[in-house]
Chains A and B, each alone.
Chain A
Amino acid sequence: MTKESITAKGDLRLTRLTKSYGDFTAVDDLSLVIPEGSFFALLGPSGCGKTTTLRMIAGLEEPTVGSIHLGATDITTTKPCQRPINTVFQNYALFPHLTIYENIAFGLRRRGIKDVEAAVDKVLALVELPHLAQRKPTQLSGGQQQRIALARAIVNRPALLLLDEPLGALDLKLRRQMQIELKWIQKEVGLTFVHVTHDQEEAMTMADTIAVMNEGQIEQMGSPADLYDNPKTAFVANFLGQSNLIKGTISGNDGDSHIVDVFGQKISLPKNRSHAIDNSIYAGIRPEKFRISRLGTPTSGNILTGGHIEDVSYIGVSTQYQVEMPWGQELMVFEQNDDGVAPFSKDEEVNISWEPIFTFGLRGDEDATAGSEVNPEELDEE
């Protein structure tokens, strides 16, 4: 078992994985396949089980039940040091007593790789820090430490690279830059990356596939565009970006679309984007999909009338409006400032319209606020 595990490769398969601590179930019957070579993100709020899942893949936690396969090899109980998997730890966990060079060489030396120097030099060049080889970790900035942690992991050419909130400790600007670099490096080295994060923007920027986790289970999995445009649950709709969820009832059909009655007004919703199970439905529209227009201006598509602008925030690239509808709900509207039209002002009476294709439907019995009360920026660790 030990010898074959270290050379295992292929897709990562988690089968009915469960991890319980006493009464608390951190990961609940989770099954998942991560294809070889992909950039996969586990996204979710603090305590959703994403870090526990990652630690089980790394071998740092043992599943209560379930199995983990890498290709054809069962690695469920294999020790961390016998898995061809490396981790970029949260806060990096660089060895403070070793130089940068020795930090990177650590894994190579343990495996008895011959040409350590060439490999280290190459990876240092890849992360563009060759001049720091003889420094100690404490002498490096956060961004530099982050790159060294990445270098220390990828130099081993693992079948799987795990990233545990790798950018959490960096400031916003550096985080953006590292997101792009990480993505580039992943393409460059062609490894499978599994990335754990609570930052939806980070996940969407980098990952090919995102699994949104909540309470130990996967809420929805798909490409960033899929998840964003066609969320299946209110949790996903709210956690990934912002959504306006308007309560309604399916009152009829029009070809490929449902006709939905929302507080007396009729809108159209594509059937293939509806996840409702009966007539009760939430119509979901992303704030930037809305168009806002003064009364009497011609509009097309779905229209909701009787809006009253409650609040206007000008933020440069766009303007955000809070529009109170006749039934008391405040809708959020983002308008690009690209049309030369002066922004609307507070207390104007407006209509709201959008292309029907942008509407998604959620089950009417859902909690419309699920996933929105967690502010991802405030969550650091689990």
Chain B
Amino acid sequence: MNHKVKDATIPHIPTGARISRWIGRNLIRIYAVFAFTYLFIPVAYTFAFSFNDSGKSNLIWKGFTLDNWQNPCGAPEVCTALVNSVKIGFLATLFSTILGTMIAFAIGRYSFKGRSTSNLMIFLPMATPEIVLGASLLSLFLVFQINPGFWPTVMAHVVFCISFVVVTVKARIASLDPRLEQAAMDLYANERETFRRVTLPLVAPGIAAAALLAFSLSFDDYIITNFNSGTLKTFPEFVYASAARGIPAQANVIGSAMFFLALAIVITGQIVGRKRKVSA
């Protein structure tokens, strides 16, 4: 195919019109760049100030250092708080994922009397502000004379994580082709085998996503935790408490490390998922 683009007889679109139409078409992309910048300003700030040679108060830039990264537990209490948060997050994720997945299967796979009530029961915790959840749980613990602390916090986290797990897993179940299960049954698999060999592997990505979501919700929670943790301090509580006098740079190190770790997990998951799709 020989191009005669420079041929004067070919009508051309004026350059001015071309440029203004290009801007018109790409305006929204340019906007997206600005929106992402807005989203990432505090993340970048937190990351940058993790390298601040700050001393006690990490408010003003005083110079670059790697000390904070080499000694992330350098500030008092910061690592204790981190360990607490990870433990609580792990347990809350475990319980809420198990309970939530069971509910999701019940609602997503069966029609039964009371299904809409069940849906309402899942919606209500999401429609209740965290402060009400936290406060009401605290008042219950007080009535039964249970001291706030580690386990009350785990229970509180499970309450608000369950609904998100149900919603996430249910969406995955809904997107499954029911004929796959029928095909498995047709190929001599009984109910249990069908579930184990077909249904569960297909729903697994949804459960994994739900677990990841539950962990990040639990790990990041401040309001409910604040009501139910008593003297125990989680990482968000630590940050909140130190906010007034300036957060130690080690907290920025931990926050940034969490950011890159989670990003790596998500991107790996994406790549694995894509590879599976390609090889399938």
In the complex, is A directly touching B at CB under 8 Å? yes
| Known contacts A25-B1, A28-B1, A65-B5, A76 near B21 by CB under 8 Å | no
Partner of A65, one of B1, B12, B17: B12
In the bound complex, how far is the Cα of B9 from the Cα of A67, in angstroms?
11
**Chain B contacts for A67, CB-based, 8 A:** 11
Given A28-B1, A29-B4, A216-B1, A77:B17 Cβ within 8 A: yes
Interface string of A23-53 (1 = CB under 8 A from B): 0010011000000000000000000000000
Binding site secondary structure of chain A: strand
Which A54-72 residues sit within 8 Å CB-CB of chain B?
62-63, 65-67
Interface presence of B28 (CB below 8 A): no
Please tell me which one of the listed residues A16, A62, A215, A216 contacts residue B21 in the complex, with CB atoms under 8 A apart.
Answer: A62
Determine whether A319 belongs to the interface, using a CB cutoff of 8 Å to chain B.
no
> CB-CB < 8 A to B7: which residues of A?
16
The closest CB in chain B to the CB of A216 belongs to B1
The answer to whether B10 has its CB under 8 Å from any CB of chain A is yes
A16 touches B1 (CB 8 A): no
A12 vs B174: C-alpha distance in the bound complex, in angstroms? 49
Kindly identify, within residues 1 to 55 of chain B, every residue whose CB is under 8 Å from any CB belonging to chain A: 1, 3-5, 7, 9-13, 17, 21
Q: A299 within 8 Å of B by Cβ?
A: no
**CB of A308 to closest CB in B, whole Å:** 43
Q: How far is the CA of A16 from the CA of B3 in the complex (A)?
A: 11
A77-B17, A77-B21 known; A66+B1 contact, CB < 8 A:
no
Interface residues on A, range: 10 to 19
**Contact mask for chain B residues 79-102; partner A; CB cutoff 8 A; 1 contact, 0 none:** 000000000000000000000000
Q: How far is the CA of A216 from the CA of B11 in the complex (A)?
A: 18
Determine the distance from Cα of A25 to Cα of B4 in the docked complex, in whole angstroms: 13
Q: Does A66 lie within 8 Å of B21, measured CB to CB?
A: no
Rounded to whole angstroms, the CA-CA distance of A29 and B1 in the bound complex is 10
The closest CB in chain B to the CB of A67 belongs to: B11
- Closest chain-B Cβ to A293's Cβ sits at a distance in Å of 47
- Most chain A CB inside 10 Å of its own CB: which residue of B4, B11, B12: B11
Docked Cα-Cα span, A29 to B11, in Å, equals: 11
Residues of B within 8 A of A25 (CB): 1, 3
The residue on B at minimum CB distance from A20 is B3
Residues of A within 8 A of B11 (CB): 15-16, 65-67, 76
Nearest-Cβ distance from residue B114 to partner chain A, whole angstroms: 29
With A25-B1, A29-B4, A77-B21 known as contacts, the answer to whether A63 contacts B13 (CB < 8 A) is yes
Q: How far is the CA of A316 from the CA of B172 in the complex (A)?
A: 51
B12 to chain A: which residues have CB within 8 Å? Answer: 65
Distance between Cα atoms of A15 and B9 in the complex (Å) = 10
Task: Give the A-B contact count at a CB cut-off of 8 A.
Answer: 32
> Which residues on the B side are within 8 Å of A66 (C-beta)?
10-11
Q: Which residue of B lies closest to A215 (CB)?
A: B1
Residues in B neighbouring A28, C-beta threshold 8 A: 1
- Which A-chain residue is minimally distant from B25 (CB atoms)? A62
Q: Report the separation of the CA atoms of residues A216 and B1 in the bound assembly, to the nearest whole angstrom.
A: 10
> How far does the alpha carbon of A18 sit from the alpha carbon of B5 in the complex, in Å?
9
Q: Which residues of B have CB within 8 Å of A76?
A: 11, 13
Contact B1 A77, beta carbon cutoff 8 Å: no
Select one of A15, A16, A29, A62 contacting B13, CB under 8 A: A62
Q: How far is the CB of B19 from chain A (nearest CB, A)?
A: 12
B98-141 vs A, Cβ < 8 Å mask (1 yes, 0 no): 00000000000000000000000000000000000000000000
Q: Shortest CB–CB separation between residue B200 and chain A, in angstroms?
A: 33
Complex Cα–Cα for A66 and B12 (A): 6
Q: Which residue of B lies closest to A217 (CB)?
A: B1
B21 touches A65 (CB 8 A): no
Q: Are A16 and B17 in contact (CB under 8 A)?
A: no
User: Complex formed: what's the CA distance from A28 to B1 in Å?
Assistant: 8
Hey, which chain B residues are within 8 Å of A215, CB to CB? Answer: 1
Given the known inter-chain contacts A77-B17, A77-B21, please indicate yes or no for A16 contacting B9, CB distance below 8 A: yes
Q: How far is the CB of A39 from chain B (nearest CB, A)?
A: 27
Cα A347 to Cα B4 in complex, Å, equals 56
In the complex, A77 Cα to B16 Cα: how many Å?
A: 12
- Which one of A62, A65, A66, A76 has the highest number of Cβ atoms from chain B below 10 Å of its Cβ? A65
B62–chain A nearest beta-carbon distance, Å: 50
Instruction: Please give, as numbers and ranges, the residues of chain B lying within 8 Å of A63 by CB-CB distance.
Output: 13
Give chain B nearest CB distance to A19 CB in angstroms. Answer: 12
Q: State the CA gap A18–B2 with chains docked (Å).
A: 12
**A25 vs B3: C-alpha distance in the bound complex, in angstroms?**
10
Chain A 73-85, CB within 8 Å of chain B: the 1/0 string? 0001100000000
Among B1, B7, B17, find the residue whose CB has the most chain A CB atoms closer than 10 A: B1
Nearest-neighbour CB distance to chain B for A183, whole angstroms, equals 34
Some 11 contacts from A to B, beta carbons below 8 A apart, are A15-B10, A16-B9, A29-B4, A62-B21, A65-B11, A66-B11, A76-B13, A77-B13, A77-B21, A215-B1, A216-B1
Q: A63-B13, A65-B5, A215-B1 are in contact. List 20 more A-B contacts (CB 8 A).
A: A15-B10, A16-B7, A18-B5, A18-B10, A25-B1, A25-B3, A28-B1, A29-B4, A29-B10, A65-B10, A65-B11, A65-B12, A65-B13, A66-B10, A67-B11, A76-B11, A76-B13, A77-B17, A77-B21, A216-B1
Ranked 3 nearest A-B pairs via Cβ? A67-B11, A16-B10, A65-B10
